[in-house]
Amino acid sequence: MTADIAPEGIAGWPPPALDPAGPFAGPLNTLAWGLIGMSVTVLLVVLVALGLALFGSRRWRARLGGERLVWIGGLAFPVVVLSALLVYGLGLTSHLTQEPAPGEMRVRVTGEMWWWRVAYLDGAGREVLQDANEVHIPVGRPVVFELDSADVIHSLWVPRLAGKVDMIPGRRNLMRLQADAPGVYGGQCAEYCGGPHALMGLVVVAHEPREFEAWRARQSAPAAATIVSHPGTPVFARAGCGACHTVAGTAFNGLAGPDLSHVGSRRTLGAGILPNNHGTMAGWISDSQAIKPGNRMPAYPVLTGQELRDVSAWLESLK
């Protein structure tokens, strides 16, 4: 008996890549099946020709041996078929990376080794809200993801909502997503980026429009728990967590690691890889290196059991 804690939503049946949940994943699914159908047809034609060449009558073999067949079957046919497929594919996918129109929602997702920095943009492209490893969107509306990288090449892939698009340092690549139904859609880094690349996941959470606005309102203000005193806050300060992490409403304003302002409300920890609760938070803080070897957060072998529980309880209360 073996089991894994799978990153949320990129495994299972039907394969998410063949189970589109929005209009920007649908065309890719159509294209994939079109290409599969086409290649199977071509393979069958080739196999029949091979069969005839090996076992056919003398007359058939003579027909297959002519120079004309090489020109037709070896050059004209592939050129026509592949060009048609290219035009068909470009037509199906050209709108998947369009620039945002005025009024369309924009989210900047920046790949970092090995997590995702998320910023919600206003109409002018200014960052108005910070988060990490989780993107919230309203259903039924296209959302434009503006993709960048802070270090090496990553690739964002949320198979049920869109195709893969590379995140290249210094470039702004675009990706449109839309979810037709509320839900949690798993994503994964799809370009090997070193070390714990396989443990670099994220989730996209699609809400009904009203719930989305409520989420955005909650997210825009500091978590309520930051205004009451909690034994975990001084532990967070003493351990130096604020050097890398921001908690809105406090003096902690580090930028190297994920924003923790509302970390208690996230679905996952460690970039899409662990469930989020008091226990996993304590385990992650205590020794994230045992869970995600090579990630840039050190283990904290300096905390007592009580301190570990306090600091993780405080973080879990940041909803």
Partner 1 sequence: MRRWAPLAAALLAACADKTHPPRVIAGADPARGLAVMERVGCAACHAIPGIDWPRGLAGPSLDGFGVSPMIAGQLPNRPDVLTAWLIDAPSLSPDTGMPPMPISEAEARDVAAYLYTLDDR
- Name 207's bridge partners: 138
- Shortest distance, CB of residue 316 to partner 1, whole angstroms? 9
Cα separation, 213 vs 233, whole angstroms: 29
- Shortest distance, CB of residue 278 to partner 1, whole angstroms? 4
- Shortest distance, CB of residue 49 to partner 1, whole angstroms? 47
Return the number of the residue (106 or 296) whose C-beta is nearest partner 1: 296
Cα separation, 316 vs 185, whole angstroms: 22
- Shortest distance, CB of residue 22 to partner 1, whole angstroms? 27
Return the number of the residue (229 or 304) whose C-beta is nearest partner 1: 304
Return the number of the residue (145 or 314) whose C-beta is nearest partner 1: 314
Two tokens at 21?
């949940």
- Shortest distance, CB of residue 175 to partner 1, whole angstroms? 29
- Shortest distance, CB of residue 237 to partner 1, whole angstroms? 19
Residue 86 and residue 162 in contact, taking contact as beta carbons nearer than 8 Å: no
Return the number of the residue (7 or 100) whose C-beta is nearest partner 1: 7
Cα separation, 157 vs 166, whole angstroms: 9
Residue 312 and residue 274 in contact, taking contact as beta carbons nearer than 8 Å: no
Return the number of the residue (259 or 307) whose C-beta is nearest partner 1: 307
Residues that bind partner 1 (CB under 8 A): 1-5, 274-275, 277-284, 286-287, 290-292, 303-306, 308-309, 312-313
Return the number of the residue (188 or 286) whose C-beta is nearest partner 1: 286
Return the number of the residue (5 or 150) whose C-beta is nearest partner 1: 5
- Shortest distance, CB of residue 115 to partner 1, whole angstroms? 16
Residue 272 and residue 200 in contact, taking contact as beta carbons nearer than 8 Å: yes
Nearest to 183 by CA among 165, 161, 205: 205
Cα separation, 46 vs 44, whole angstroms: 5
| Half-sphere exposure at residue 309, Cβ-oriented, CA atoms within 13 angstroms | 3
Return the number of the residue (39 or 277) whose C-beta is nearest partner 1: 277
Cα separation, 306 vs 192, whole angstroms: 38
- Shortest distance, CB of residue 74 to partner 1, whole angstroms? 49
Q: DSSP characters for 197-264?
A: GGG-EEEEEEE-HHHHHHHHHHHHS--GGGGS--THHHHHHHTTGGGT-B-TTSS-B--SS---TTGG
